[in-house]
Structure 1
């Protein structure tokens, strides 16, 4: 009986862990994101800002930072990623330039400062709150530095023709350039971003909490909020109830067996 219970528990744990398992199997893929939580980005990497000046990464990342890898002529998700990023930093309950900053790095080594300057102008113009220009940096670079930083961040992409196949998401980085958290996709909400920045400020990396939230809650991109995932929660309660009932039957059977022995 104990063996049966053990096997059932093992199966259920596998079901609950399935998303994490499938993600682990996809690590180090040609195109995708491999979380490098706790790793540090090399501060000596050099890029050009939108003014055309050479800057080191250590000079750019001085505050909790939201890092986005895109390319400015992207016909796909990049524009949506930056649009959503602009939307959320315009509303997050932290002060831009003081509590956090934003960093966008092009993965296309053919793009230059002129292109990044135009992109910076376009997205800053969409912001409603007071947002210092210095709080959102747009960088371009050569293929070596781009390859180095994307590999360090676990951001893998591939050039196909004139386009780049790449994942979507942003990364929170501490002032010491420590990778703190990943937010996947291109739809962001204030809660996720605020928590990611606070974690970055504290130098924390705690993906377990995020995975638990994702299990219990479902994100609604239209309402930009989390709602309880009733199906998962009731499913978990039901399974716990089944295990409890099986355990009760087993214990009762064992007690009855002892009583019969003593008669």
Structure 2
């Protein structure tokens, strides 16, 4: 092979190598641990991680599947997740299927990004696995370009019984409230028939967010999800949003009235003014009565 042929061969080889490397790029979903041996009745944590392979990603969704005759989901935790806004928090969508969907504004790039953690209990002897199915990820490129996602399964071997005491996963020790957040009132002609709605979200780095509650004015708190259509479209009342984590810790954010009522429509101020007027009348009457006694 002469030098010219060698040069052509070298260039073609480099081109093919770079092309294959480009095709191999993409995110990877994997589990920690990758292998789990346990006995019937034992519990274990399965942590779902994302490796972006040097790409910056801002949206993710997918399903973690397992054999429901072998494993039971005891708890799903999203504390410390790389996902800031859950479109759908990780949840048991159907037997053997945990679905999740979320967004990370600004994007995330890294090798060990925790998505969520699931606690399982072994139900029966057998071999099984956890696998990520229909996983999708999108580049933080302003266009929402979908990138390739590969997945590495977690192998599970369940023996008839534990060698020692039954393994139980301890609950998360969390005494801190969810992080501060600022609810936003918005309106869009294309949404909710043009009515005002409230958007809110926060994170809890410990046990994860359990639910939200909303209170408009003097009404009682009620469980709600974002976005929430406001009952009071006049926007003349204070709005409180309560974020509750899975350990019961609470953070409350307050939105002041955006269109305060005139002072004469405020019941408290009106009561105070009536009280002051009555007090002034009684004081004036008392002064006049005292003056008449003095004249006599």
Pair member with larger Rg: 2
| Greater RCO, 1 or 2 (C-alpha within 8 Å, sep 6+) | 1
When normalised by structure 1's length, the TM-score is 0.37
Normalized per residue, the structure richer in strand is 2
Normalized per residue, the structure richer in helix is 1
